[in-house]
Amino acid sequence: MYCIHCRAELSESDAFCVSCGKPQGQALPAQQPQMQQPMQGQPYAQQPYYPPINSVPTNGMAIAGMVLGILSLPMCIYLVPAVVGLILSIVGFVKSNKHPNKPGKGFAIAGLIMSIISLVIFIVVVVACSMALYSELGSIGSTYPGYYDYL
């Protein structure tokens, strides 16, 4: 017999599932999946079909944070995707820690890492541009004598 909740294999005398711990009202009978023989010209038989197991949906905040983290890397000169990706990844990480059955912790970590890398690149670009602008403004007075006399 199989568990009606998680499809784990059970013995005939089990009242509760050994895998998920839920009570078994009427467990599903043990069935072998039916296989078809390959038709003429087909190299393989049809694969057996098992009904889907009740799965827990993935944390949406973690996925959104990872997607924005991925998008923020090529667009690292824009601050908005990196900041929003960082916030969503942190929220998704906290939610996945509060609910251990809800997957998505890996997505949240990936979003955090990519958003932080994008923010670091943004800061480096801003500092480098500021230094280049400052050095260029400082060299104007030496290139054009008397330039500061008019200011």
pLDDT in tens, 37-69: 656 666 665 667 776 666 677 888 999 999 999
What pLDDT is stored for residue 136 in this prediction? Answer: 72
Q: In the predicted model, what is the mean pLDDT of the chain?
A: 78
What Cα–Cα distance (Å) separates residue 59 from each residue in 1, 14, 53, 91, 138? Answer: 33, 34, 18, 10, 52
Give the tens place of pLDDT for each residue, 65-121: 999 999 998 887 788 999 999 999 999 999 888 887 778 889 999 999 999 999 999
Alpha-carbon torsion, ordered 125, 127, 132, 134, to 10 deg: 150
What pLDDT is stored for residue 6 in this prediction? Answer: 75
Q: Do 46 and 35 form a contact (C-beta atoms < 8 A)?
A: yes
Q: Do 101 and 56 form a contact (C-beta atoms < 8 A)?
A: yes
> pTM for the full model?
0.56
What are the boundaries of each domain within the chain?
Answer: 1-30, 60-139
Residue 82 CA to residue 119 CA, distance in Å, equals 6
Say whether pLDDT at 35 is over 60.
no
Say whether pLDDT at 123 is over 80.
yes
